Amino acid sequence: MAGMKVTSILSLVVVVLVVATALQIREAEAQTAADTCAAQLGNINVCAPFVMPGMTASNPSADCCVALQSVDRDCICNTLRVSARLPSQCNIPPLSCPAN
């Protein structure tokens, strides 16, 4: 009977270790995805002449288009969702931008 208790405890310890390892792997994967998204967004700085107010470029450059095409869609969508929430989280009235 004591042998069964030890086996049960060891089995439980193994299960806990497997679950903990799986959670650490998922966390590392999430961090890698966030790092990749940040790097991809950093690459679209070449689009600044097209998107910055006061700039005269009317069409994006080929470099801008290539950089934008390389950004994962989830990365873009998540970034836009977060940026849309920023004004309310900073106690700023919602933004209302006219369409040009």
- Please enumerate in sequence order all residues whose Cβ is within 8 A of that of 92, keeping only pairs 6 or more positions apart, or say none: 86
- The whole-number pLDDT of residue 59 equals 87
pLDDT in tens, 39-91: 888 888 888 888 888 888 788 999 999 998 999 898 888 888 888 888 888 88
- The whole-number pLDDT of residue 65 equals 92
Q: How confident is the model at residue 9 (pLDDT cuts 50, 70, 90)?
A: low
More confident residue, 40 or 2: 40
- The whole-number pLDDT of residue 90 equals 87
Taking residues 14-40, report their average pLDDT. Answer: 63
**Sign of the alpha-carbon torsion through 66, 77, 33, 52:** positive
